[in-house]
Structure 1
């Protein structure tokens, strides 16, 4: 008897230990009263790839559409087996519900991938529900019971086919599993089970009562959970500058564009100086440690500085005029210069405007790069009035020979040109409030970020991250509170309009352009929610919010996975140029166009 009790106790420890050790590291160990929920756009793709477990009918006769419950599951995950019991309890409900299971095998479970293949096969045979019931009922015997034995218990006659499916590798079945794994990554799946209800993803699997409540509220159209909001007011501690380098200060040379600032792995800062075509390295106190480069066509010299960045322990400088990249060590020694430009044939993007070639903006491993094409020509402009314009500029991944491999993302340029004739002269300005998207390349070489926003009536901002192949890594939706466009903001914007040609005494002034903008319907009722986009070396996303014409503008900071992380206010003329987890660099141009570089600690 003592021996028998000891064996039973050991078995209990093994079973409990199995559940603890093999549960997902991020899986739930308890059910919170109010689990956080995030809406995931594109969730329908996962539903369409899933297996229908069951569907209940609306007995009220009201013809209400069903609520879709999507569950990312793993055959060997013990919490999936527990949640399957919860799902089974709503199978007899009178509310319209459809439940879909999506394969998401975890790589540290020995039997998960064979189980996913077998589930796919059972679905083809029309026995998915019976199959998954059998698997979860006998989960602790996986690896001891054969797949054919589980098939028999599920009522499947063709047991040999199930066993063959579980073993067979490299088939279209594996391709479907890879697709659902990728969809799970895009939808924020970090463990199993992950549950979405009409696109709303629970932070942890819901209890039976929570699931029933959510379904009932959605069926009755009483669902009130809001999207995560992008706050437009500073709520974090005030940030203060650590150091500032004026354009005519320590180095005596001017930075050029916001893109020409980079942060290295050790936190060092590199700034381009196009006045004499050099780059300089700054330490944490703002001291210039070294300068390199210079104007010319020799090794380590430039005709134009198009981008500066850091790959591991190498600083790269892209020269769009010469179609090459120069490499330096982090202590300023010249290493090499090599030809690297996109081999892209000339293409029209709109009337009179073409793209061709392209210079690297980010250097990647293996000599590859992300490149942005050259813009050539001049768009056809109106003699007077308004002309709408829309262009899509590809961001390209190229190999070491400049051959295009993939399109990582598209930079969408939308806007309008307003022309006014004064005497015999045509004067033009770019409409200030146009555009519904921003795109930025990630400086760590992991892809690109695209921010889009919808009509103010919908109040929706989406953030999409694409990897180097152009595939979606995640797609997040946020709500925002539209900010009315005030008279003060309009007047300040009109004062800052850049009129072409410049310096003409007879040029129209703000009121005339305002009238033309209004006649063209180009002064909206609300401000664009996003006015600039930057991406940190750590993958953080920096969104410059509405420009209200005030002294400061708010920046909303998202974590690399898309959660709202921080909200800071910066002077209106400053733009975030580079960032890490501990600090960020801003560039500011004064009223005379003279820039300064400022470091802020976070």
Structure 2
């Protein structure tokens, strides 16, 4: 092991010990110390920075990942861009890391994910992770492996770095049937891997509640994720699961008990060693999927899968309509809306949960503290993260009680990055949309 790798492992183990001790103290504290009333009105978001414009070439494709470095700069990975773009805190381009290629320091196809563990920058591309410390042109290490998981119909390649120098694999579905077979399966294993691709242990089991829609065999059509159970536009790429920015733990939604009295869902924080740091049952009121929402989602989903939103000149009107009808016939909805749509781990220990889809399409984010107590909410009623109409308004990448960084997708395919300051003043008047 190199000196850099050894230092990364030692620092990571120290982070894990510190986090475990801190959370243990908080969770063992008297309830009266931890408890606080949630703000009765939504916190407000004030936009203070927007990066991107029709005239600019700073952002040329949708944002895949975003991280704040130790230097307070913004490190951005974009689709189809073989580089990481580094912005100052006021939105000026400082430099670009990487170039197209497959050698050390190159980036294959696109920088898919980016982050920092201590003083080490890690960049993930199509099937590798590269580690940089002193020279952004020459990686200290290139990590590359491919491990098949036949029982899941998937393949694991390097995904994201963890605090102790190990990794979480990026899960690629290689068997389309695996998407629809999970409903009868106990879940998908979130594995911790060595840098050589060896499975070290399982951090957690990810729930997979029938996330796909099957339909008749048809060229160009295959099982797809249900719009009410889709994956986050940025982040880990696992269902309702996020990695903390320091790589020391994962935050996830566990079992949902909609038939219990009262109905609850589990909010979990699990260390990368598999220790449960937080397990809280959150009460909620199940919301039925209305007939109007079912019709709207069916029309949108069938149109999307058929190709109406990304229409190709190769597809005739007859083919598009045949595909749309095929998907529409097999579209289904659950009786109740999933209580949580996405999870974001805050940089300050907060946990951000995107709650149920609403008829008015206003996104409601709930913000919980390190002990799982609700502190406040944020409402976002404008923006879009892709051409897919059911996607969130804002792809939240970095969040805390003080600021939120996120990405949207404007007209004519223009990508934007936004920075918001969070106004946590509890007003007594009626709530207003935050963004």
For the aligned pair, the TM-score class normalised by the smaller chain equals 0.7 to 0.9
Contact 2:212 2:225 in 1 (8 A): yes
* Residue 364 of structure 1 pairs with residue 364 of structure 2: no
335, 346, 349: which one pairs with 1:539? 349
Contact 1:229 1:478 in 2 (8 A): no
The structure-2 alpha-carbon separation of the partners of 1:465 and 1:487, relative to structure 1 and needing over 3 Å to count, comes to same
Contact 2:81 2:111 in 1 (8 A): no
* Residue 457 of structure 1 pairs with residue 277 of structure 2: no
- How many residue pairs align between the two structures? 368
Structure 2 CA distance, aligned partners of 1:510 and 1:230? 44
For the residue of structure 1 that corresponds to 2:228, the secondary structure is coil
2:330 match: 516
* Residue 299 of structure 1 pairs with residue 96 of structure 2: no
Post-superposition offset of 1:289: 1.9
192, 201, 216: which one pairs with 1:397? 192
224, 249, 262: which one pairs with 2:67? 262
Contact 2:63 2:415 in 1 (8 A): no
* Residue 416 of structure 1 pairs with residue 212 of structure 2: yes
2:360 match: 550
Between 443-452 and 410-419, report the one with greater CA deviation.
410-419
Contact 1:450 1:464 in 2 (8 A): yes
The structure-2 alpha-carbon separation of the partners of 1:364 and 1:453, relative to structure 1 and needing over 3 Å to count, comes to closer
2:150 match: 348
Post-superposition offset of 1:407: 2.0
The structure-2 alpha-carbon separation of the partners of 1:237 and 1:534, relative to structure 1 and needing over 3 Å to count, comes to closer
* Residue 470 of structure 1 pairs with residue 274 of structure 2: yes
CA displacement 1:66-117 (0-9 Å, x = unmatched): xxxxxxxxxxxxxxxxxxxxxxxxxxxxxxxxxxxxxxxxxxxxxxxxxxxx
Post-superposition offset of 1:262: 0.9
Q: Which is greater in Rg?
A: 1
Unaligned 5+ segments in structure 1 are: 1-180, 195-201, 205-226
Aligned residues: CA RMSD: 3.7
274, 281, 293: which one pairs with 1:489? 293
TM-score by length of 2: 0.72
Structure 2 CA distance, aligned partners of 1:579 and 1:243? 15
Post-superposition offset of 1:500: 5.3
1:188 match: 27
For the residue of structure 1 that corresponds to 2:150, the secondary structure is strand
Unaligned 5+ segments in structure 2 are: 1-19, 232-238, 383-391, 423-435
The structure-2 alpha-carbon separation of the partners of 1:588 and 1:495, relative to structure 1 and needing over 3 Å to count, comes to farther
442, 465, 489: which one pairs with 2:244? 442
Q: When you count helix as a share of all residues, which structure comes out higher?
A: 1
CA displacement 1:143-183 (0-9 Å, x = unmatched): xxxxxxxxxxxxxxxxxxxxxxxxxxxxxxxxxxxxxx99x
CA displacement 1:349-377 (0-9 Å, x = unmatched): 34xx2334x21412434xx1222144252
Contact 1:299 1:336 in 2 (8 A): yes
For the residue of structure 2 that corresponds to 1:340, the secondary structure is strand
The structure-2 alpha-carbon separation of the partners of 1:262 and 1:338, relative to structure 1 and needing over 3 Å to count, comes to same
